[in-house]
């Protein structure tokens, strides 16, 4: 079967491999977009989506890493 030829990863290994690939390809990067669904949970966890006309990516950070105020829009 064709799937037998595909590489198989655990979730952890796939995320580690993806992170390593992105860190190699883009050691430093700035991504611009519109903030949506911004929220702070338990006073320390920040969640939001960063979007443009064609895509959206979910983001997470610790509130102490937030250097500028963020809000939807």
Instruction: Decide if 1 is inside a domain.
Output: no
Determine, yes or no, domain membership for 72. no
- With tokens 């959206």, the residue in question is 56
Q: Which token pair is 6?
A: 């595909």
Q: Which of 9, 16, 58 is nearest to 35 (CA)?
A: 58
Q: Kindly report the average pLDDT of the chain as a whole number.
A: 91
pTM, full prediction: 0.68
Beta bridge partners of 46: 40, 61
* pLDDT (mean) for 55-70: 87
Q: Is residue 3 part of a domain?
A: no
Q: How far apart are CA 51 and CA 57, in angstroms?
A: 6
Specify if 57 maps to a domain: yes
Model confidence pLDDT, tens digit, residues 6-43: 999 999 999 999 999 999 999 999 999 999 999 999 98
2 domain-assigned: no
In a domain, 56, yes or no: yes
CA distance linking residue 50 with residue 63, whole number of Å:
16
Q: In terms of residue numbers, what domain contains 28?
A: 8-65
Does residue 54 carry a pLDDT above 80? yes
Q: Is 3:18 a contact under the CB 8 Å cutoff?
A: no
Total structural domains within the chain? 1
Angle at 27 between CA 34 and CA 53, to 5 degrees: 20
């Amino acid at each position: 079967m064709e799937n037998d030829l595909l590489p198989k990863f655990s979730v952890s290994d796939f995320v580690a491999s993806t992170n390593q690939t992105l860190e190699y390809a883009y050691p430093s990067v700035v991504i611009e977009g519109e903030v949506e669904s911004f929220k702070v949970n338990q006073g320390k966890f920040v969640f939001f989506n960063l979007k443009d006309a064609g895509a959206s990516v979910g983001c997470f950070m610790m509130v102490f890493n937030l250097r500028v105020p963020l809000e939807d829009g």
